[in-house]
Structure 1
């Protein structure tokens, strides 16, 4: 088997013994402790837990985006690359070509004074040297793939001219422009209404199947995690306290914190 073939069937993300401290004014605060995760290619890993448990920090640490005040220990491999051992050029190439980051508010991912077209094409033009006309053609194709009915018009618009649901589709399409292997979705649907949320989740699942993508999905919605994810990792206080198959999340959880989260989930029936 060739080296390239071997890498394609391996894990898209491996995190081992990840510790993160923030240092400020001579004091240190630990926010992640001993986090270990593995996401095989083609599968979905859910991160659940209350606010402040370390979910978003884990995603940002995986891409080395925590800033100078963070002290990181442990190892992170993304698509076979040692993130904290990589040189700046290799790290930029990894982020631009192998990973798509979808954040909670799509407006934070787009420059408000740039049209959609240039924003979507920037990675292909700057990183891969693709000419602008070819990049725009691909952007139009990707917008069609994510359900934008008039992609040519969308490319000429500014972010403020689009709804939240359309902007999230644009961000997904932009992330898929470079044919990545890994999607990191950080509360990607929590800012959307229920019907738009369902459409966006269906879109991510469809693109995952057709492209054999690995997806890490951060959410507070336990039912969503159970239905979408092959594996669910439960975080509390900067640690992974339990990891189990998504379809068995509600039946086999053993950790007291996980069981407490499940019991706190509101239901339509029962005593109010």
Structure 2
């Protein structure tokens, strides 16, 4: 029997979901300032926090000061990334990056399946809610690895809550037997969201051959860098399929690990993001901060 009642994880003030909640509020405050820099005291006050507590939360999440991170959270940051850290796939290949190689400093085992391959095997999916650096995350997994990751808020449809997130992911696997299994999902999720090179994430996304090609191309974009939909289309040998590439990017089932947040428009616009543009900006900001010279500084 399929079980899908949402289970609330305990509230932990040291957990990633709590820190991301603060970051989401910070993005709103920075946007409301209209481009004017916000001193630490003003930003903390807008979020009803003391400057000291706000500073601790910021640096725990990002590894850099609130002042430094503001420049990565601005609406114009994508244009700066496009100018300074634009990835062409020839360059990525020359650097030894590949679909089966480095992804956000994790060594990823990639075992994508077409719908036909999925249908021919075991169609059981285990799932659980877990803590993550970007809020509470819903993880679906097969015996091979993670099949999908979503988040409890930010859906571009405007829907919020765990039921909405669960139904959104479950619709992608209409014939699957879904079983809540936190014990087996937790190790996969821990590897998926682990900082640095210590994780060993295993992915088992399910998609049509064209989609899989697009997702493989996304995995060749280094952390802290961006590419464009047109660049991806060229990389998969179909340079005119920019619109179809955009659709495939939007259908990426494994948020964060298959980094569709690193795909932006050639104009420097962010484009879309299935789990909300504020989350896309936060992901890009966190990755950019990780490459900053003072990334280890408070």
TM-score range normalised by the length of the shorter chain = under 0.3
When you count strand as a share of all residues, which structure comes out higher? 1
TM-score computed with the length of structure 1 as normaliser:
0.28
